[in-house]
Amino acid sequence: MSMRRWVPLLVGALVLLVLGVAPTVVSPFILQFLINLFMLAVLAESWNIIGGFTGYASFGNVAFFGIGAYTTGVLLTRVGAPFALALPAGGLLAMLFAALVGLPILRLRGHYFAIATLGVAETMREVIYNIEVTGAGTGLVMPILRSPLPFFYLMLAILAAVTLLNWWLSESRFGYGLIAIREDEDAAAVMGINTPVYKTIAFSLSAVFAGLTGGVYAYWITFIDPDAVFKVIITVQMIIMAVFGGAGTVLGPLLGALVMASVSEWLSTHLVTLAELFNGLIVILVVLFMPKGLFDLIRHRPFSLRYFVKNLREYRI
Protein backbone atom coordinates (compact mmCIF):
# COMPACT_ATOMS: atom_id res chain seq x y z
CA MET A 1 0.00 0.00 0.00
CA SER A 2 1.15 3.48 -0.78
CA MET A 3 1.28 6.37 1.68
CA ARG A 4 -1.91 7.83 0.25
CA ARG A 5 -3.88 4.80 1.32
CA TRP A 6 -2.43 4.68 4.82
CA VAL A 7 -3.29 8.25 5.75
CA PRO A 8 -7.09 7.85 5.99
CA LEU A 9 -6.65 4.62 7.97
CA LEU A 10 -4.34 6.37 10.44
CA VAL A 11 -6.65 9.31 10.85
CA GLY A 12 -9.55 6.90 11.31
CA ALA A 13 -7.68 4.96 13.99
CA LEU A 14 -6.88 8.20 15.79
CA VAL A 15 -10.52 9.34 15.75
CA LEU A 16 -11.52 5.91 17.00
CA LEU A 17 -9.06 6.18 19.86
CA VAL A 18 -10.39 9.59 20.89
CA LEU A 19 -13.97 8.36 20.73
CA GLY A 20 -12.94 5.23 22.64
CA VAL A 21 -11.89 7.20 25.71
CA ALA A 22 -14.81 9.65 25.40
CA PRO A 23 -17.07 7.80 27.93
CA THR A 24 -14.61 8.53 30.70
CA VAL A 25 -14.93 12.29 30.28
CA VAL A 26 -18.40 13.10 28.90
CA SER A 27 -21.70 13.37 30.79
CA PRO A 28 -24.31 10.57 30.62
CA PHE A 29 -26.48 12.82 28.48
CA ILE A 30 -23.74 13.28 25.89
CA LEU A 31 -23.06 9.55 26.03
CA GLN A 32 -26.66 8.77 25.07
CA PHE A 33 -26.42 11.35 22.31
CA LEU A 34 -23.26 9.70 21.00
CA ILE A 35 -24.84 6.25 20.96
CA ASN A 36 -27.75 7.64 18.98
CA LEU A 37 -25.36 9.46 16.66
CA PHE A 38 -23.37 6.28 16.00
CA MET A 39 -26.57 4.41 15.25
CA LEU A 40 -27.71 7.01 12.75
CA ALA A 41 -24.24 7.04 11.20
CA VAL A 42 -24.24 3.25 10.77
CA LEU A 43 -27.65 3.44 9.13
CA ALA A 44 -26.50 6.20 6.78
CA GLU A 45 -23.30 4.37 5.86
CA SER A 46 -25.12 1.09 5.35
CA TRP A 47 -27.69 2.73 3.08
CA ASN A 48 -24.82 4.35 1.23
CA ILE A 49 -23.64 0.93 0.01
CA ILE A 50 -26.82 0.19 -1.95
CA GLY A 51 -28.12 3.73 -2.47
CA GLY A 52 -24.93 5.76 -2.79
CA PHE A 53 -22.45 3.44 -4.49
CA THR A 54 -24.83 1.21 -6.40
CA GLY A 55 -27.42 3.90 -7.10
CA TYR A 56 -30.45 1.83 -6.09
CA ALA A 57 -32.85 4.06 -4.18
CA SER A 58 -33.92 1.64 -1.48
CA PHE A 59 -36.85 2.99 0.51
CA GLY A 60 -37.11 -0.17 2.59
CA ASN A 61 -33.82 -0.55 4.47
CA VAL A 62 -35.69 -0.15 7.73
CA ALA A 63 -36.86 -3.73 7.15
CA PHE A 64 -33.32 -4.94 7.90
CA PHE A 65 -33.12 -2.77 10.99
CA GLY A 66 -36.42 -4.17 12.21
CA ILE A 67 -35.50 -7.76 11.42
CA GLY A 68 -32.25 -7.35 13.34
CA ALA A 69 -34.06 -5.78 16.28
CA TYR A 70 -36.72 -8.49 16.40
CA THR A 71 -34.35 -11.43 15.90
CA THR A 72 -32.14 -10.25 18.72
CA GLY A 73 -35.14 -9.39 20.85
CA VAL A 74 -36.88 -12.74 20.39
CA LEU A 75 -33.69 -14.71 20.98
CA LEU A 76 -32.96 -12.72 24.15
CA THR A 77 -36.39 -12.85 25.71
CA ARG A 78 -38.11 -15.95 24.37
CA VAL A 79 -35.17 -18.31 23.89
CA GLY A 80 -32.91 -16.92 26.59
CA ALA A 81 -29.91 -16.88 24.29
CA PRO A 82 -26.91 -14.78 25.30
CA PHE A 83 -26.61 -11.37 23.62
CA ALA A 84 -23.30 -12.40 22.08
CA LEU A 85 -25.24 -14.95 20.05
CA ALA A 86 -28.49 -13.04 19.56
CA LEU A 87 -26.82 -10.01 18.00
CA PRO A 88 -24.91 -11.73 15.16
CA ALA A 89 -28.00 -13.84 14.50
CA GLY A 90 -29.94 -10.64 13.86
CA GLY A 91 -27.35 -9.37 11.40
CA LEU A 92 -27.19 -12.72 9.67
CA LEU A 93 -30.93 -13.06 9.28
CA ALA A 94 -31.20 -9.52 7.91
CA MET A 95 -28.50 -10.41 5.38
CA LEU A 96 -30.20 -13.64 4.32
CA PHE A 97 -33.50 -11.81 4.00
CA ALA A 98 -31.87 -9.15 1.83
CA ALA A 99 -30.31 -11.75 -0.43
CA LEU A 100 -33.60 -13.61 -0.78
CA VAL A 101 -35.75 -10.55 -1.41
CA GLY A 102 -33.03 -8.88 -3.43
CA LEU A 103 -32.98 -11.54 -6.11
CA PRO A 104 -36.41 -10.64 -7.56
CA ILE A 105 -36.55 -7.00 -6.41
CA LEU A 106 -33.15 -5.90 -7.67
CA ARG A 107 -34.33 -6.65 -11.18
CA LEU A 108 -36.55 -3.60 -10.87
CA ARG A 109 -35.19 -0.16 -11.54
CA GLY A 110 -35.89 3.40 -10.51
CA HIS A 111 -39.25 4.09 -8.95
CA TYR A 112 -40.31 0.47 -9.15
CA PHE A 113 -37.39 -0.60 -6.98
CA ALA A 114 -37.99 2.25 -4.55
CA ILE A 115 -41.63 1.44 -3.99
CA ALA A 116 -41.12 -2.33 -4.00
CA THR A 117 -38.64 -1.97 -1.14
CA LEU A 118 -41.06 0.34 0.66
CA GLY A 119 -43.67 -2.38 0.25
CA VAL A 120 -41.34 -5.07 1.60
CA ALA A 121 -40.75 -3.03 4.74
CA GLU A 122 -44.47 -2.36 5.23
CA THR A 123 -45.27 -6.03 4.68
CA MET A 124 -42.65 -7.05 7.25
CA ARG A 125 -44.27 -4.73 9.77
CA GLU A 126 -47.61 -6.37 9.09
CA VAL A 127 -46.16 -9.86 9.39
CA ILE A 128 -44.57 -9.05 12.77
CA TYR A 129 -47.90 -7.62 13.88
CA ASN A 130 -49.53 -10.99 13.22
CA ILE A 131 -46.95 -13.32 14.77
CA GLU A 132 -47.31 -14.46 18.37
CA VAL A 133 -43.65 -15.03 19.21
CA THR A 134 -42.74 -11.40 18.53
CA GLY A 135 -45.38 -10.14 20.93
CA ALA A 136 -47.51 -9.03 17.94
CA GLY A 137 -48.79 -5.47 18.35
CA THR A 138 -47.85 -5.14 22.01
CA GLY A 139 -44.12 -5.42 21.42
CA LEU A 140 -41.23 -6.96 23.29
CA VAL A 141 -39.64 -5.89 26.57
CA MET A 142 -35.92 -6.62 26.91
CA PRO A 143 -34.03 -7.24 30.12
CA ILE A 144 -32.50 -3.99 31.35
CA LEU A 145 -28.75 -3.48 31.33
CA ARG A 146 -27.70 -0.72 33.72
CA SER A 147 -24.54 0.47 32.03
CA PRO A 148 -24.70 2.24 28.66
CA LEU A 149 -21.03 1.45 27.96
CA PRO A 150 -21.51 -1.87 26.13
CA PHE A 151 -23.93 -0.16 23.75
CA PHE A 152 -21.53 2.70 23.20
CA TYR A 153 -18.64 0.41 22.25
CA LEU A 154 -20.79 -1.94 20.19
CA MET A 155 -22.27 0.89 18.13
CA LEU A 156 -18.83 2.39 17.72
CA ALA A 157 -17.39 -0.94 16.58
CA ILE A 158 -20.17 -1.47 14.04
CA LEU A 159 -19.72 2.09 12.82
CA ALA A 160 -15.98 1.57 12.40
CA ALA A 161 -16.61 -1.64 10.47
CA VAL A 162 -19.19 -0.15 8.11
CA THR A 163 -17.07 2.94 7.50
CA LEU A 164 -14.09 0.75 6.73
CA LEU A 165 -16.24 -1.21 4.30
CA ASN A 166 -17.35 2.00 2.57
CA TRP A 167 -13.75 3.11 2.33
CA TRP A 168 -12.79 -0.25 0.84
CA LEU A 169 -15.61 0.10 -1.69
CA SER A 170 -14.28 3.49 -2.75
CA GLU A 171 -10.87 1.93 -3.47
CA SER A 172 -11.57 -1.58 -4.68
CA ARG A 173 -12.46 -3.36 -7.85
CA PHE A 174 -15.75 -4.52 -6.36
CA GLY A 175 -16.64 -0.94 -5.39
CA TYR A 176 -15.83 0.31 -8.88
CA GLY A 177 -18.14 -2.37 -10.20
CA LEU A 178 -20.97 -0.98 -8.06
CA ILE A 179 -20.25 2.56 -9.22
CA ALA A 180 -20.28 1.34 -12.83
CA ILE A 181 -23.74 -0.14 -12.19
CA ARG A 182 -24.88 3.21 -10.80
CA GLU A 183 -23.56 5.16 -13.77
CA ASP A 184 -24.90 2.84 -16.47
CA GLU A 185 -26.07 -0.63 -15.61
CA ASP A 186 -26.34 -1.91 -19.17
CA ALA A 187 -22.83 -0.72 -19.99
CA ALA A 188 -21.54 -2.32 -16.77
CA ALA A 189 -23.09 -5.63 -17.79
CA VAL A 190 -21.50 -5.38 -21.24
CA MET A 191 -18.12 -4.73 -19.58
CA GLY A 192 -18.39 -8.12 -17.92
CA ILE A 193 -19.68 -7.17 -14.48
CA ASN A 194 -22.06 -9.78 -13.15
CA THR A 195 -24.62 -7.16 -12.18
CA PRO A 196 -27.18 -9.37 -10.37
CA VAL A 197 -24.46 -10.83 -8.11
CA TYR A 198 -22.88 -7.43 -7.45
CA LYS A 199 -26.21 -5.84 -6.62
CA THR A 200 -27.29 -8.69 -4.37
CA ILE A 201 -24.00 -8.59 -2.45
CA ALA A 202 -24.28 -4.81 -2.05
CA PHE A 203 -27.86 -5.15 -0.81
CA SER A 204 -26.88 -7.90 1.65
CA LEU A 205 -23.89 -5.95 2.98
CA SER A 206 -26.17 -2.99 3.47
CA ALA A 207 -28.60 -5.24 5.34
CA VAL A 208 -26.13 -6.90 7.69
CA PHE A 209 -25.09 -3.60 9.25
CA ALA A 210 -28.62 -2.27 9.52
CA GLY A 211 -29.56 -5.58 11.17
CA LEU A 212 -26.72 -5.42 13.68
CA THR A 213 -27.60 -1.86 14.70
CA GLY A 214 -31.21 -2.94 15.01
CA GLY A 215 -30.13 -5.63 17.46
CA VAL A 216 -28.06 -3.24 19.58
CA TYR A 217 -30.85 -0.68 19.44
CA ALA A 218 -33.42 -3.18 20.74
CA TYR A 219 -31.31 -4.10 23.77
CA TRP A 220 -30.32 -0.48 24.38
CA ILE A 221 -33.82 1.00 24.22
CA THR A 222 -35.29 -2.08 26.05
CA PHE A 223 -38.66 -1.97 24.29
CA ILE A 224 -39.57 -2.52 20.65
CA ASP A 225 -42.85 -2.75 18.78
CA PRO A 226 -43.57 -3.12 15.06
CA ASP A 227 -44.38 0.55 14.52
CA ALA A 228 -41.20 1.73 16.20
CA VAL A 229 -38.64 -0.42 14.38
CA PHE A 230 -40.33 -0.59 10.96
CA LYS A 231 -41.06 3.15 10.68
CA VAL A 232 -40.72 4.41 7.12
CA ILE A 233 -39.14 7.57 8.46
CA ILE A 234 -36.08 5.62 9.57
CA THR A 235 -35.33 4.73 5.96
CA VAL A 236 -35.93 8.30 4.94
CA GLN A 237 -33.51 9.49 7.62
CA MET A 238 -30.88 7.15 6.19
CA ILE A 239 -31.40 8.63 2.75
CA ILE A 240 -31.43 12.21 3.97
CA MET A 241 -28.23 11.75 5.95
CA ALA A 242 -26.45 10.09 3.06
CA VAL A 243 -27.72 12.49 0.40
CA PHE A 244 -27.24 15.53 2.60
CA GLY A 245 -23.66 14.58 3.44
CA GLY A 246 -22.93 13.31 -0.06
CA ALA A 247 -24.17 9.95 -1.32
CA GLY A 248 -21.50 7.63 -2.70
CA THR A 249 -18.72 9.20 -0.62
CA VAL A 250 -17.13 7.62 2.47
CA LEU A 251 -17.30 10.55 4.87
CA GLY A 252 -20.45 12.23 3.55
CA PRO A 253 -22.92 9.99 5.40
CA LEU A 254 -20.97 10.48 8.65
CA LEU A 255 -21.19 14.22 8.26
CA GLY A 256 -24.87 13.95 7.37
CA ALA A 257 -25.49 11.85 10.47
CA LEU A 258 -23.70 14.35 12.69
CA VAL A 259 -25.81 17.23 11.39
CA MET A 260 -29.02 15.21 11.47
CA ALA A 261 -28.48 13.90 15.01
CA SER A 262 -27.69 17.39 16.28
CA VAL A 263 -30.65 18.99 14.56
CA SER A 264 -33.16 16.36 15.67
CA GLU A 265 -31.78 16.47 19.22
CA TRP A 266 -32.27 20.22 19.25
CA LEU A 267 -35.73 19.95 17.71
CA SER A 268 -36.95 17.29 20.13
CA THR A 269 -35.80 19.23 23.19
CA HIS A 270 -37.02 22.64 22.05
CA LEU A 271 -40.09 21.92 19.98
CA VAL A 272 -41.14 18.53 21.38
CA THR A 273 -44.47 17.84 19.66
CA LEU A 274 -43.63 19.87 16.58
CA ALA A 275 -40.29 18.13 16.04
CA GLU A 276 -41.58 15.82 13.32
CA LEU A 277 -43.23 18.67 11.45
CA PHE A 278 -39.96 20.57 11.37
CA ASN A 279 -38.11 17.46 10.31
CA GLY A 280 -40.39 17.34 7.29
CA LEU A 281 -39.78 21.01 6.54
CA ILE A 282 -36.04 20.46 6.78
CA VAL A 283 -36.27 17.60 4.28
CA ILE A 284 -38.04 19.91 1.85
CA LEU A 285 -35.60 22.79 2.33
CA VAL A 286 -32.50 20.60 2.08
CA VAL A 287 -33.74 19.02 -1.12
CA LEU A 288 -34.57 22.42 -2.61
CA PHE A 289 -31.44 24.31 -1.68
CA MET A 290 -28.71 21.70 -1.30
CA PRO A 291 -29.57 18.71 -3.47
CA LYS A 292 -25.86 17.93 -3.90
CA GLY A 293 -25.11 17.71 -0.20
CA LEU A 294 -22.90 19.38 2.35
CA PHE A 295 -19.59 18.38 0.80
CA ASP A 296 -20.52 20.16 -2.39
CA LEU A 297 -21.30 23.26 -0.36
CA ILE A 298 -17.96 23.07 1.47
CA ARG A 299 -16.05 22.55 -1.74
CA HIS A 300 -17.80 25.49 -3.37
CA ARG A 301 -15.70 28.63 -2.88
CA PRO A 302 -16.02 31.46 -2.36
CA PHE A 303 -19.10 30.79 -0.29
CA SER A 304 -22.08 32.96 -1.18
CA LEU A 305 -25.84 32.94 -1.29
CA ARG A 306 -25.57 32.59 -5.03
CA TYR A 307 -24.74 28.92 -4.49
CA PHE A 308 -28.27 28.25 -3.20
CA VAL A 309 -29.87 30.27 -5.96
CA LYS A 310 -27.89 28.31 -8.52
CA ASN A 311 -29.08 25.05 -6.98
CA LEU A 312 -32.65 26.26 -7.06
CA ARG A 313 -32.35 27.04 -10.75
CA GLU A 314 -30.56 23.90 -11.79
CA TYR A 315 -33.37 21.36 -11.78
CA ARG A 316 -36.39 23.55 -12.34
CA ILE A 317 -38.56 23.32 -15.37
Partner 1 sequence: MLILQVLINGILLGGLYGIMALGMSLIWGVMNIVNIAHGPLIMLGAYITFWMFTLWGWDPFLSLPATVLLLFVYGYLLQRLVLNLIVRAQLFITLLITFGIEVVMVNLARIFWSSDLRQVTPTYAGANFSVGGLTIPYVRLWVFVTTIVLSVLFLLLMERTRLGRAIRATSQELRAARLTGIPVARIYAVTFGLGAALAGAAGTLWGMLFPITPIMGGQLTLKSFVVAVLGGLGTMMGPIVGGLVLGLAESFSSTYVGPTYPNAISFGLLVLILIFRPTGVLGKRERG
**Residues at the interface with partner 1 (CB under 8 A):** 51, 57, 59, 104-105, 107-112, 114-116, 118-120, 122-123, 126-127, 129-130, 232-233, 236, 239-240, 243, 247, 274, 276-277, 279-284, 287-288, 291, 312, 314-317
Q: How far is the CB of 120 from partner 1 (least distance, A)?
A: 7
Looking at beta carbons only, is 51 or 215 nearer to partner 1? 51
Q: Which residues are within 8 A (CB) of 204 and not within 5 positions of it... i.e. 6 or more apart?
A: 95, 96, 98, 99, 102
What minimum distance in Å lies between the beta carbon of 315 and partner 1?
Answer: 4
Element (H, E) at 140: strand 140-141
User: Among residues 20 and 291, whose Cβ is nearest to partner 1?
Assistant: 291
C-alpha separations of 210 from 18, 90, 121, 223, 286 in Å: 25, 10, 13, 18, 24
- 139-142 contacts at long range (C-beta below 8 A, 24 or more positions apart): 139/223, 139/224, 139/225, 139/226, 139/228, 140/70, 140/73, 140/74, 140/77, 140/218, 140/223, 140/224, 140/225, 141/77, 141/222, 141/223, 142/73, 142/76, 142/77, 142/218, 142/219, 142/222, 142/223, 142/224
Task: Identify which of residues 25 and 190 has a Cβ nearer to partner 1 in the complex.
Answer: 190
Which of 101, 138, 134, 100 shows the shortest CA–CA distance to 119?
101
End-to-end CA distance of the chain: 48
Nearer to partner 1, 266 or 289 (CB): 289
Cβ proximity to partner 1, 13 vs 126, nearer residue: 126
Residues 248 and 68: their CA atoms lie apart, in Å, by: 24
Tell me how far, at minimum, the Cβ of 187 lies from partner 1, in Å.
13
Please report, as a single letter, which amino acid is at residue 33.
F
| Nearer to partner 1 (CB atom), residue 65 or residue 185 | 185
CB 312 to partner 1: min, Å: 6
User: Considering the complex, what minimum distance in angstroms separates the CB of residue 291 from partner 1?
Assistant: 5
Nearer to partner 1, 7 or 285 (CB): 285
Write down the least CB distance from residue 247 to partner 1, Å: 8
Q: Is 151:216 a contact under the CB 8 Å cutoff?
A: yes
> Closest approach of Cβ 50 to partner 1, in Å?
12
